[in-house]
Amino acid sequence: MRLKFVEPLLPTLVEKPPEGDEWVHEVKFDGYRSQIVIDDDVRIFTRNGLNWTTKYRNLVGAAKRLGLDSAIIDGEIVVLNEAGLSDFAALRKAITRRQQDLYFVAFDLLHLEGHDLRDMDLEDRREILEGIIEPDSQIQFSQALPGDAKAIFELIDKAGIEGMVSKRRDSKYRSGRSTNWLKIKSYAVEEYDILGVEREMGKPAFALMADRATGKYVGSAFINSRGAIRDRLWKRVQEHAGPAPQGMKRPATQWVKPGLVGRVKHLRGEADLRHASLQDFREES
């Protein structure tokens, strides 16, 4: 029987990693969640079930070399930078120009040689998965991280990695969002151009931010209402009010002329700002 794409199990975002021996911890890779399906041929699907097999010629070849008659492998397609970290910005270029730089990091096995493994414990599925992967292949196994969860997360944060995923050792594989898998993201601090400040009575104040290189709006950052930063920023905005950027209409926003740069803490590895807060700001000289 021809195997079909399985809707993936999705981790729930939490603030802190869970403690206890019942959890296994892995690096959260910054790439494209994907699924390799092997039967009469090899197909590679996106997280949403789109067939992207033709985009991943080298990975298809690596999957064939596993020598399996049937399997469904869950993982992440990534490109690694010089530091050995997954680099999302380089991923799109690699798909079209540098297929040899693509890796499929496998972290779960849903089906193998005619057997549905989704009712097995995660730990058992991963043990089988590790056993079928060749060591020097573009398909790699996502190793568990040893040690205490808090210590692991501190090391991940310092290394500049996007975050970690914690999974219950005895969890079954169930499609959709689950609290049996938890993702904990680390934060980055970067500079963005401030476009304006959004203030409404009885609501938190936000600074609207743009990418410094492209000028594209990337989201808003919370402004601490108790800090001196808010008052200083509001004074600067009033003194240098400007027109709204083209195409942006937000009635509660006081726009500001170019030249104001904000230092923003935000979740690492997101396309736009998420869980972001303004740490400070400066005027460009």
Fill in the amino acid letter for 201: M
Q: What is the DSSP letter of 51?
A: B
CA gap 173, 121 in Å, rounded: 8
Phi/psi region, residue 113 (left: phi>0; alpha: psi -120 to 50; beta: rest), is left
28 labelled catalytic: yes
Residue type at 251 in one-letter notation: P
46 near 59, Cβ under 8 Å?
Answer: no
Backbone dihedral region for residue 58 (phi beyond 0: left; psi -120 to 50: alpha; all else: beta) = alpha
Distance (Å, rounded) from C-alpha 119 to C-alpha 171? 8
Q: Which of 28, 158, 249, 265 is catalytic?
A: 28
147 CB contacts (<8 Å, ≥6 apart)?
none
Checking phi first, is residue 130 left (phi over 0); if not, alpha (psi -120 to 50) or beta?
A: alpha
b (16+ CB within 10 A) / e for 193-229: bbbbbbbeeeeebbbbbbeeeeeebbbbbbbeeeeeb
Question: Are 10 and 127 in contact, with CB atoms under 8 Å apart?
Answer: no
Amino acid letter, 9 = L
Read off φ and ψ for residue 89, nearest 5 degrees: -60, -35
Which residues are identified as catalytic? 28
